[in-house]
Amino acid sequence: MRRYDPSKDLLRLIEESKNLDLALLFLHGKKGEDGSIQGLLDLLHLPYAGSGVLASALAMNKAVSKELPKCYGLNVPKEVLFFIDQVVA
């Protein structure tokens, strides 16, 4: 097992990708869950577990990810916004 931190190990990942069988992604947030890493892995022909580029990118765009099911006639709950006007110390 090898570990790669996308913030500092991308060049090493690219160089070593031919010797890897599968990538298990443990990422969070922008440039992790948005399909960027998945796209790189696709270019490297390195299989990975989890969602692909399109599904990851769509899931990060909350507005689009709510509209797509509506196109197929599915009911989607309305957004609920909470406003906090006091800070509790």
CA-CA distance, 13 to 33, in Å (whole number)?
A: 18
How many domains in the chain? 1
Q: For the CA atoms of 63, 68, 70, 72, what is the dihedral angle to 10 degrees?
A: 180
Residue-level pLDDT at 20? 97
Residue 17 has pLDDT above 70, yes or no: yes
Range of the domain at 44: 1-89
Residue-level pLDDT at 31? 74
Residue 2 has pLDDT above 90, yes or no: yes
The CATH number for 88's domain is 3.40.50
Residue 68 has pLDDT above 90, yes or no: no
Burial category of 6 from C-beta neighbours within 10 Å (exposed 0-12, middle 13-18, buried 19 and up): middle
CA-CA distance, 46 to 2, in Å (whole number)?
A: 14
Q: Among 35-39, 42-46, 79-83, which is the least confidently predicted range? A: 79-83
